[in-house]
Chain A
Amino acid sequence: MTILHVDNVRKTYGGNSYALDGVSFSVEKGEFVAIIGPSGAGKSTLLRCVNRLIFVTSGEVSVNGIAVTGLSNPSLRRLRRTIGMIFQHYNLVNRLTVLENVLHGRLGYKSTIAGTCGFYTASEKNRAYEILHAVGLHEHIYKRCDQLSGGQKQRVGIARALIQDPTLMLCDEPIASLDPSAAKIVMDTLRDINTRLGITVVANLHQVHVARDYATRIIGVNNGRVIYDGLPKDLTIDIIQKIYGSEAHDLILADGDTHGTH
């Protein structure tokens, strides 16, 4: 079953240069897709076109068979609540507690008034607690998010996405701001979500070796175009060179090592 279909998507921010220049691919249910490519290749833009945080200039994106470009606001909300998303900088509301941040994942299912005032049902709160248990944060539910470490914040982000009951999980550089051990915990959690819960994962990654270790399929992007689309084991050094251009040398040297991304 096709979960995500991207068809000849272009995106320009005005001017002649394209952030995305005719990108096409399909993702089947249960896949773990890593999108790799140098900074500025259009990875983040591509991910945001899926849930229409960014509007495509031309082309079409469909999620679960629903075309996203033509959706009205209420239908867009209904679609977005089935797509979880986590971010490089976690994007939590730091002044609220861990529990409140996780419950934000339910907003798409709630009425405007209940959501605005933060009224959640007991079953929603219990569900949030269960998920926090699963990601190992049950001891911190009443802590404010600014008291957590980066790895813990990202796990709160994952919990917030999971409580949406998503069919698709978008991850925008989920480990780029984390140290290696926290990064491993986060990536293991994502693999767990993928294999045990059957949630399709599409992740932007900067680290080729992480993509190779975790993904079932790799899409290489450069300059807004898909350069490579295939299995991790078929990703040769030549292809990495093509994807990363001049950056490739550093990456190959650092491959298998802990490669800092910024």
Chain B
Amino acid sequence: MHVPTPHTPLPRRPFDRSSFVLSATLAILAVLTIYGFTTFDTNGVDMDMALDMLGDNAKTLFFAPGLSNVTIEGLLKNLGVTVALGFLTTVLGAVIGMVFALASALNLAPVWLSVVVKAFTAVVRAIPTVLWVLIFAVSAGLGSVAAVLGMTFHSAGYLIKAYAESFEEVDAGSIEALKASGADWWQVVGQVFIPSSRAALMSWTFLRFEINFSTAIAMGAAAGAGGIGFDMFMASGFYLNLREMGAFTYAILIFAVLLEYVATKLHTKTMQG
């Protein structure tokens, strides 16, 4: 073996195009940010007063939450509506997602079918959920129906991709072994694909539920789908009640932390067994 002498100079690192592009982009962004901050137009605004008011508002929002137009039962009920919207669209999306994932995983479906389904779902995912809701609102009217349809649509597109990728990671050897023993397509799905990717399927679905929960809040306001999002919209835009906004924010925060906790528990549990 050739051992380099200590005096051999370190060879120059070869030019790497992607890391060059990355550092160039970061440098340009840094320059633009500094330029932006130094050339703010603050003529019409008294910055000291504005920052003062911002602090006051934040203080009311976060340190003096309270309810006035909505009762605590009303808040819980509307939080329930939002959770239900997120849950329903996740379940519907998961069912549709499972069917089409079976048709788009390359180790389960013929190539042409996989390409067609993957191209279609890529288009579905490229358009944001809010836009799908507005598109469905054309026929269903702005409201909960449009929200359910639009959110289901985007969830399905997302879960098809996530499920199909989990399926594609399944060990080709065990698929071959079961085929060799005479198992048919559905049996291979039920006995190899589902058990091998169960943990991944569960965590993708739960992650989508978390996304759908926050989308459901926004849809309550933007599409009039009801729930706690609509309450927030009323409190902020109609009553201008910062204390109530604070109460709603805390309610959502508590629920989100709860979701996160359950997700972590679920994940460790499925990983073990």
A residues within 8 Å of B by Cβ?
51, 53, 73, 77-81, 83-85, 87, 89-96, 100, 104-105, 107-110, 112-113, 115-118, 157, 160-161, 164, 170
Quote the shortest CB–CB distance from B196 to chain A (angstroms).
Answer: 6
Q: Is the CB of B196 within 8 A of A104?
A: no
Complex CA–CA separation, A51 to B184 (angstroms): 14
Complex CA–CA separation, A262 to B109 (angstroms): 34
Residue of A nearest to B193 (CB): A93
Quote the shortest CB–CB distance from B165 to chain A (angstroms).
Answer: 18
Residues of B within 8 A of A112 (CB): 184, 186-187
Which listed residue (A51, A89, A113, A117) contacts B180, Cβ 8 A?
A51
Complex CA–CA separation, A113 to B184 (angstroms): 10
Quote the shortest CB–CB distance from B186 to chain A (angstroms).
Answer: 5
Residues of A within 8 A of B179 (CB): 53, 80
Q: Is the CB of B190 within 8 A of A115?
A: yes
Q: Is the CB of B191 within 8 A of A107?
A: yes
Complex CA–CA separation, A90 to B198 (angstroms): 21
Quote the shortest CB–CB distance from B209 to chain A (angstroms).
Answer: 23
Whether B183 sits at the interface, judged by CB under 8 Å, is yes
What are 28 pairs between A and B in contact, CB < 8 Å?
Answer: A53-B176, A53-B180, A77-B182, A77-B183, A79-B182, A80-B182, A85-B177, A90-B173, A91-B174, A91-B176, A93-B191, A94-B174, A95-B196, A96-B191, A104-B177, A107-B181, A107-B182, A107-B183, A112-B186, A112-B187, A113-B186, A115-B187, A115-B191, A116-B190, A117-B190, A118-B190, A157-B177, A164-B181
- How many pairs of residues, A versus B, come closer than 8 Å at their CB atoms? 90
Q: Is the CB of B190 within 8 A of A104?
A: no
Quote the shortest CB–CB distance from B194 to chain A (angstroms).
Answer: 9
Q: Is the CB of A115 within 8 A of B183?
A: yes
If the complex has contacts A91-B171, A93-B174, A95-B195, are A85 and B187 also in contact, measured as CB distance less than 8 A?
no
Quote the shortest CB–CB distance from A68 to chain B (angstroms).
Answer: 12
Whether B202 sits at the interface, judged by CB under 8 Å, is no
Residues of B within 8 A of A83 (CB): 180
Residues of A within 8 A of B198 (CB): 95
Highest count of chain A CB atoms <10 Å: which of B171, B180, B187: B180
Residues of B within 8 A of A95 (CB): 195-196, 198
Residue of A nearest to B272 (CB): A144
Which listed residue (B176, B181, B195) contacts A84, Cβ 8 A?
B181
Residues of A within 8 A of B130 (CB): none
Quote the shortest CB–CB distance from A33 to chain B (angstroms).
Answer: 18
Complex CA–CA separation, A113 to B178 (angstroms): 16
Q: Is the CB of A108 within 8 A of B183?
A: yes
Residue of B nearest to A107 (CB): B183
Whether B189 sits at the interface, judged by CB under 8 Å, is yes
Quote the shortest CB–CB distance from B114 to chain A (angstroms).
Answer: 20
Complex CA–CA separation, A87 to B180 (angstroms): 11
Whether B263 sits at the interface, judged by CB under 8 Å, is no
Whether B192 sits at the interface, judged by CB under 8 Å, is yes
Which listed residue (A87, A90, A93, A110) contacts B192, Cβ 8 A?
A93
Complex CA–CA separation, A156 to B271 (angstroms): 23
Q: Is the CB of A85 within 8 A of B180?
A: yes
Complex CA–CA separation, A161 to B191 (angstroms): 16
Return the CB mask of B138-178 against A: 1 if under 8 Å, else 0.
00000000000000000000000000000000010110111
In the A-B complex, the 4 residue pairs with the closest CB atoms: A108-B182, A116-B190, A81-B182, A91-B173
Quote the shortest CB–CB distance from B178 to chain A (angstroms).
Answer: 6
Residues of B within 8 A of A164 (CB): 181-182
Q: Is the CB of B174 within 8 A of A118?
A: no
Residue of A nearest to B179 (CB): A53
Which listed residue (A78, A91, A110, A170) contacts B187, Cβ 8 A?
A110
Residue of A nearest to B183 (CB): A107
Complex CA–CA separation, A85 to B195 (angstroms): 22
Residues of B within 8 A of A113 (CB): 186
Residues of B within 8 A of A118 (CB): 190-191
Quote the shortest CB–CB distance from A201 to chain B (angstroms).
Answer: 15
Q: Is the CB of A105 within 8 A of B181?
A: yes
Q: Is the CB of A81 within 8 A of B192?
A: no
Q: A80-B180, A91-B176 are in contact. List 14 more A-B contacts (CB 8 A).
A: A81-B181, A85-B177, A85-B180, A87-B176, A90-B173, A95-B198, A104-B177, A107-B181, A107-B187, A107-B191, A108-B181, A109-B182, A115-B183, A116-B189
Residues of B within 8 A of A91 (CB): 171, 173-174, 176-177
Residues of A within 8 A of B176 (CB): 53, 87, 91
Complex CA–CA separation, A77 to B182 (angstroms): 4
If the complex has contacts A53-B176, A91-B176, are A78 and B182 also in contact, measured as CB distance less than 8 A?
yes
Residues of A within 8 A of B184 (CB): 73, 77, 107, 112, 115
Which listed residue (A78, A85, A104, A161) contacts B183, Cβ 8 A?
A104
Q: Is the CB of B177 within 8 A of A87?
A: yes
Residues of B within 8 A of A84 (CB): 181
Complex CA–CA separation, A80 to B184 (angstroms): 11
